[in-house]
Amino acid sequence: MATYSNSSDTDLLLLIKDGQEAAFTEIYNRYWERLVATGYYYTRSKEAAEEVVNDVLMGLWMRRASVVIDSLPAYLGTAVKFAVFKVMARNKRRNEALNGRLPADVETAAHNDTELHLDALFMDEWLRGVVEQLPEKARLVFVYSREEALSIREIAGKMDLSPKSVEYHMTKALKAIRDSLRKMSIFLHSFLS
């Protein structure tokens, strides 16, 4: 595995755009303590700060292909501050609901809807990132199948391929998505344990 301890932040960002997990690990190791300290300053809870930092760093990894960053420390620091403020606002609303200032069922329903919406956006963005990295034919087959709801036969006609070739490319796309999901779950498990 390559080591990137002497790489600049700009180089690391370019490397993670290419999916280099070792470069992301270097960013994680380089900024973890500083970001947790920033989070702790606002939350006064080490666990809450660590959770926020994990979320921010995971967000960086998930958006690595599209995010534009001029200064990595400034970007991460600002992201941690906003994430902390978001958590604080959510906790304040939750406390108000528990203390009877808001109808609990209204607040809980809104919170659950927001969480479900954010989870769906996260998974949609993650899947889009994985699909963008597929070889062209596998990507097109997947998009035609899932987004345009075309059958194997229709995709074969549209792409001038045999149905067996379409099935091959679909299998290839689904395997890549499964592998990426497995890697993400391993990655998340290592962050959460």
Residue 193, pLDDT above cutoff 50? no
Task: Tell me the CA distances in angstroms from 12 to 52, 59, 107, one per residue in order.
Answer: 22, 16, 41
| Cα–Cα distance for residue pair 33/145, rounded to 1 Å | 44
Q: Which residues contact 12 (CB under 8 A, 6 or more apart)?
A: 4, 23, 24, 26, 27, 72
What is the rounded average pLDDT of the residues 92-118?
Answer: 55
CATH topology of domain 134-193: Arc Repressor Mutant, subunit A (1.10.10)
CATH hierarchy code of domain 1-109: 1.10.1740.10
Identify which of 182, 170, 165 has the alpha carbon closest to the alpha carbon of residue 139. 170
Q: Write down the pTM of the prediction.
A: 0.51
Q: How confident is the model at residue 104 (pLDDT cuts 50, 70, 90)?
A: very low
| Cα–Cα distance for residue pair 55/87, rounded to 1 Å | 11
Q: In the numeric block, which tokens belong to residue 118?
A: 């954010």
What is the rounded average pLDDT of the residues 5-23?
Answer: 92
- Where in the chain are the domains? 1-109, 134-193
Same fold, 1-109 and 134-193: no
